[in-house]
Amino acid sequence: MTPFRRLPAGGRIDRTDERHLSFNGRAYKGFGGDTLASALLAGGATVVGRSFKLHRPRAVMAAGVEEPNAIVTVGRGAHEEPNLKATLVEVYDGLEARSVNVWPSAEFDLTGVAGRLFGRFLPGGFYYKTFLWPRWQTWEPFVRRAAGLGEAPAQPDPETYEPFHAHCDVLVVGGGPAGLGAALAAGRAGARVILAEMDPAFGGALLGEDAEIDGQDAASWVAWALAELASMPDVTLLPRTTVFGAYDHGFFAAAERLQDHLPPRVRRGPRQRLWKIRARQAVYAQGAIERPVAFADNDRPGVMLAGAVRTYANRFAVAPAGRVVVFTATDAGYATALDLARHGCTVAAIIDSRPQADGPLVRQAHRQGLRVHAGALVGATQGRGWVGSVDIVPASGHGYAERLPCDLLAVSGGWTPTVHLWAQSGGKLDWSDEAVAFLPGAGPAHLHPAGGATTAAALASGFAAGIRAARAAGLNGAVGEAPQAVSVEHGRPAALWQVPGPGKAWVDFQNDVTTADIALAARENYRSVEHLKRYTTLGMAVDQGKTSNVVALALMGRETGRAPAEVGTTRYRPPFDPVSFGTIAGLNRGALYRPRLRLPAEAVHVGLKAHFADFGPWWRPEFYPREGESEEAAIRREVLATREAVSVLDASPLGKIEVSGRDAGLFLDRMYVQTVSTIPVGRTRYVVMVSEHGVVADDGVITRLAGDRFLVGTTSGNAARVPLIFEEWLQCEWPDLDVWVVPVTEQWAVMTLAGPKARDVLRALGTDIDLAPDAFPHLAYREGTVAGLTARVARVSFTGELSYEVSVHARHAEVFLRRILEAGAPHGITPLGVESLLVLRLEKGFIHVGVDTDGTTLPDDIGMARGVAKKASDFAGRRSLTRPAGVDPNRLQLVGLLSADTHTLLPAGAQVLGASGSDGHVTSSVLSPTLGHPVALGMVRAGRARLGENVDVLSGGTRIRAKLVPPAFYDPKGERLHG
């Protein structure tokens, strides 16, 4: 016999809409309105997964967001999505799902066998105490096989997602009776209302129970309320929408599932939408979550939450097929038993931990002849694969246990208000002995908890909260009478956390945290709730401890002699329920997330057979291989051509910012280590920018175009960042300065001619600029025409050779580059790629910011102390340079390194060994085509004072003998640069 059966009638499913699905390769049938969990139960599924640590068998336990057991992967290929709760997955025709991390199957998992054999060696915090011997690498394959849940999809996500911004007067979170009441009140008052419900249907608890509101049954009243809300033009209804985060200043984030309930083949448009909501007021009406009870073998398949059993029977028409035992500490357990009896199920017994429960539901159960054991507990379960019996023990601890056969155990240990968003918003939580729960306490005035989140009557408290929220938002329209619900009084619940006895009792079902683990954490002094969480992994699974946290906190209080209020709660953080990365990213994916910037002369480079790569945001040529030529050979050829003849580099990505105004020089003096205001018109100066901490942030050259106008050059990686830094300082610190900042990087195409024949090629292009060395020296700047085009020409070099940076308007880039190649052909001109440029700069000893520097590098570390010492005025970051750590003579300093045997390459990242450990590291290293041997740069402790010293460089366990030398390996006097 299967544990559950589909009832012949009833439920809120569409029996005319039959849907076929598969789970773990087996065919199942569902209907419109079913979840994957309800369809699996109706189809006879038992074990649907395994726990995380011990791989114990797991079956469906809950019916909503709190489900800890039925974690599945849905879809195939590119549409695959792991770690979904089966209780939240809507069934569609053709749905494919499977259990996560089982081998070979959920029913028979070999890792579970190992869990039974070795589980006693894996208590809470075991990973801090084990795997010390043998070494970790011995254990790692086994741990990785056992650990984890679903696997990340191997293919890119083909779905689309979109963000949406919204503003409202009142946001109502939760579409149950309290939420509907709040939305009705606020909407009638004239408020702009957003009503968000994570379920596909509004109604909340009303979907799974019979109730009477305003003389109507629950379903009719919900339909009437939705019709009224839909008729209000300023009310937005959002089913399938989870408000997962509450942030400052009335900002909320919500994920709307637009297409998840449809087969991938018919989906059109965005799959999910990220709502970014600004709300003046908010009503939290998210209800409450039922708690389990810890007792021996309470994780056995067939032990479920009583409210979930009731929901499956009433909403999904899926009821237990055999004998049911209800174990309860609340009157809610009686509601489940009565509804099951109404559906024709066999209720074997109600086990009530309270000795004298006497509410209306209790009396009704007695009148209907249901067997009630008052003042009793379930001490343990038995069964093979599924629960087969339970042991009933007296709550007093005196007397004998009775073994009662059953096919399902429905447990109700109490209710935990859903206070996640309240706590995220800064609201306090107060312990209530009467409710046996943490309830919303003091909190922000614009937030209004209602319904199950407060244990108040849902409909009445929701309507009242809606009125308060609307009035606080300044809306005073008439709201009419509040809906009247016929409610059933519930008696006071008992504080029932654990049934003492032998055997393991589970608290966190997914992460295998037991009562013994909590006791162990207390003994080892991990008594803080945050320490308990991390030491045992309590509440760190997919369900985030929605059923386990409060039970665990109470047990920790018992172990340490504290009340729950003294123990406190862990910090509630977003998201309330997992959100896909696609939803968060929205449109910011691929090229829209990081647009690939392309050179204005890209077509020419493509024609030259350039090999492209990403350099920051730019798509640039790495090198230009000829037919059959390797990367190394191409780079060697380009480097030697630059040294011996001439090359052309497309340097358009270099940052270009025009800074003008009366105070432009003063402003740049404050932004750079070097003095900028003294640069003559028509001259260029190398400069370094530091952060407020004195750390090297960027380098480049600044050209003075006119008395009040400068052209600031940056590295290509900081071309977008430096203008923002300028604007921040101008707007926040020096708004009185007369300065204009205009980024012009993409308005100019820059072609750099480098090499001893660079001047000859520039002359061959035709120019009205005097190129004689005396008329146009190094670091000079001229404007004129080149190749018939208006041009800016700067004589600067990153190669160590005679170089000219020629800038023309970007629209002329292709034409200009073709003319350069044509004019340079007689001189042997060679296109130069970025990788080849980096070899040239390393030979010369020029630094590459971000490669040879890091977040600790100061100007003096790279030999720039002279600029600081000469400068009398202040600049951003100067004070930080005088800190004790900044003037320590043993700081890491830039040096060159040569291997002693002259042929061994020193790998970048290799450590330079000192007497007591690392004395530094290699930052850049290449085989120099020019010099014929490897060269490297590094940052070495007190490096400049140790030039000429021999050191050991450690790489991959191998020591390489090397010598510290000055950084400039090629043309150290700069004679070729000034030629």
| Better-scored residue on pLDDT, 912 or 591 | 912
pLDDT of residue 400: 76
| Better-scored residue on pLDDT, 537 or 117 | 537
User: 3-state DSSP call for residue 389?
Assistant: strand
Query: pLDDT for 924-967, tens place per residue?
Result: 999 999 999 999 999 999 999 999 999 999 998 899 999 999 99
Exposed/middle/buried for residue 525 (C-beta within 10 Å: 0-12, 13-18, 19+) = exposed
Q: What is the 3-state secondary structure (H, E, C) of 88-140?
A: CCECCCCEEEEECCCCECCCCEHHHHHHHHHHHHCCCCHHHCCCCCCCHHHHH
For the beta carbon of residue 731, count every other beta carbon within 10 angstroms.
9
Across residues 41-50, what is the average pLDDT? 97
Closest CA to 485 of 692, 276, 204: 204
Confidence of residue 457 (pLDDT cuts 50, 70, 90): confident
Across residues 241-251, what is the average pLDDT? 98
User: Cβ distance 875 to 671 under 8 Å?
Assistant: yes
Residue % of the chain over a pLDDT of 70: 99
Across residues 83-98, what is the average pLDDT? 98
Q: What gap in Å lies between CA 531 and CA 372, rounded to an integer?
A: 41
Q: What gap in Å lies between CA 424 and CA 449, rounded to an integer?
A: 13
Q: What gap in Å lies between CA 172 and CA 445, rounded to an integer?
A: 15
User: Cβ distance 48 to 38 under 8 Å?
Assistant: no
Confidence of residue 120 (pLDDT cuts 50, 70, 90): confident
pLDDT of residue 647: 99
pLDDT of residue 366: 96
Element (H, E) at 796: none
β-bridge pairing 272-284 and 161-173: parallel
Across residues 232-244, what is the average pLDDT? 98
Across residues 302-321, what is the average pLDDT? 98
CA 651 to chain centre: 36
Mean pLDDT, the chain, rounded, equals: 95
β-bridge pairing 740-743 and 709-714: unpaired
- Look up residue 13 and give its amino acid: I
For the beta carbon of residue 454, count every other beta carbon within 10 angstroms.
24
Query: pLDDT for 721-758, tens place per residue?
Result: 999 999 999 999 999 999 999 999 999 999 999 999 99
Residue 799: partners with Cβ closer than 8 Å, 6 or more residues away: 642, 754, 755, 837, 840, 841, 844
Q: What angle do CA 129, 135, 140 make, to 5 degrees?
A: 85
pTM of the shown model: 0.86
Least confident segment among 17-21, 211-215, 230-234: 211-215
For residue 29, list its beta bridge partners. 20
Listed as own residue / partner, the contacts of 549-554 with beta carbons closer than 8 Å and 24 or more positions apart are: 549/416, 550/291, 550/416, 550/437, 550/438, 551/291, 551/292, 551/293, 551/294, 551/413, 551/497, 551/498, 551/507, 552/507, 552/508, 552/513, 552/518, 553/529, 554/495, 554/497
Element (H, E) at 863: none
Across residues 107-118, what is the average pLDDT? 76
Asked if the bond preceding 134 is cis, omega within 30° of 0, the reply is: yes
Question: Which residue do the tokens 């920790």 mark?
Answer: 556
pLDDT higher than 80, residue 142: no
| Better-scored residue on pLDDT, 85 or 117 | 85
pLDDT higher than 70, residue 166: yes
Question: Which residue do the tokens 């509450």 mark?
Answer: 246
For residue 349, list its beta bridge partners. 325
What the block records as the tokens of 59 is 């079956």
pLDDT higher than 70, residue 773: yes
Closest CA to 175 of 157, 192, 198, 193: 198
What the block records as the tokens of 968 is 């400039």
Least confident segment among 138-152, 200-214, 378-392, 414-428: 138-152
pLDDT of residue 453: 85
Across residues 698-722, what is the average pLDDT? 97
Question: Which residue do the tokens 């938002």 mark?
Answer: 473
What the block records as the tokens of 793 is 């020409």
Q: Which domains does the chain have, with CATH numbers?
A: 4-146 (3.10.20.440), 161-288+417-486 (3.50.50.60), 292-413 (3.50.50.60), 497-562 (1.10.10.1100)
What the block records as the tokens of 583 is 């939803």
Q: What gap in Å lies between CA 831 and CA 753, rounded to an integer?
A: 10
pLDDT of residue 889: 93
Confidence of residue 112 (pLDDT cuts 50, 70, 90): confident
Closest CA to 738 of 658, 659, 657: 659
For residue 430, list its beta bridge partners. 439
Exposed/middle/buried for residue 188 (C-beta within 10 Å: 0-12, 13-18, 19+) = buried
Q: What gap in Å lies between CA 623 and CA 634, rounded to an integer?
A: 7
- Look up residue 404 and give its amino acid: L
pLDDT of residue 128: 76
pLDDT of residue 346: 98
User: Cβ distance 593 to 803 under 8 Å?
Assistant: no
- Look up residue 740 and give its amino acid: W
CA 497 to chain centre: 34
pLDDT of residue 223: 96
Q: What gap in Å lies between CA 214 and CA 693, rounded to an integer?
A: 68
Strands (E), 423-545: 429-432, 437-440, 447-449, 485-486, 506-508, 513-514
pLDDT of residue 114: 65
Confidence of residue 117 (pLDDT cuts 50, 70, 90): low
Across residues 690-697, what is the average pLDDT? 97
Asked if the bond preceding 575 is cis, omega within 30° of 0, the reply is: yes
User: Cβ distance 952 to 960 under 8 Å?
Assistant: yes
User: 3-state DSSP call for residue 577?
Assistant: coil
Asked if the bond preceding 104 is cis, omega within 30° of 0, the reply is: yes
User: Cβ distance 521 to 529 under 8 Å?
Assistant: no
Q: What gap in Å lies between CA 171 and CA 320, rounded to an integer?
A: 38
Residue % of the chain over a pLDDT of 90: 89
pLDDT of residue 869: 82
User: Cβ distance 914 to 941 under 8 Å?
Assistant: yes
Q: What gap in Å lies between CA 686 and CA 268, rounded to an integer?
A: 55
- In angstroms, the first-to-last Cα distance of the chain is 95
Query: pLDDT for 433-446, tens place per residue?
Result: 999 999 999 999 99
pLDDT higher than 70, residue 294: yes
For the beta carbon of residue 813, count every other beta carbon within 10 angstroms.
22
pLDDT higher than 70, residue 784: yes
User: Cβ distance 353 to 499 under 8 Å?
Assistant: no
pLDDT higher than 90, residue 118: no
Confidence of residue 272 (pLDDT cuts 50, 70, 90): very high
Whole-number Cα distances in Å, 905 to 351, 632, 901: 77, 14, 10
